[in-house]
Amino acid sequence: FSLRVMGTVPSRVSAASARLAPAGTAFVSARDSLLRFSGRIADVENAVAFDWPGTSFSFATDAERIWLRMDGGKNYFTVRADGQEVAVLQTHYGLRDYEIPRSSASGARLLEVQKRTEPVLGNLGETVLGRQTRAVLLEGIILQGGS
């Protein structure tokens, strides 16, 4: 892994396909017991919402490719694989798929995604910094080439 800021490329989710997983992949809902959350969360229909810094979720997988499907609310996240920080994820408003960097190691690994930013930076953040945040809405993960 190389540490890099990700999430700056356009999403592959369109309004028409937002509820679908691409062919050859498996969608796992954020409310599935495979995902473990730490911190303050709220169940919202078929998703999980959170806004508190330090809130995280983790899951074990041996998938070759992994995407997070979420409205990231213009927040930043630390991504760890087996306890090692591998990337900083920069998110945007609106539902998108964010690909997690692939590990050079094969086999199962534990991935953790932790919110870094404070809740709603507010008007000062929008006016001065140009980056007002909002709550995160995680719909799930998409796995390809594993489980």
**Mean pLDDT per 10-residue interval, the chain, length 147 residues:** 44 47 85 95 92 95 92 93 91 90 73 89 52 86 88
> Is-contact 56 136, C-beta < 8 A?
no
> Is-contact 6 99, C-beta < 8 A?
yes
pLDDT at 23: 76
pLDDT at 120: 64
> Is-contact 16 72, C-beta < 8 A?
no
What whole-number distance in Å separates Cα of residue 82 and Cα of residue 74? 26
pLDDT at 20: 60
One-letter amino acid for residue 17 of the chain: S
Nearest of 99, 92, 102 to residue 137 by alpha carbon: 92
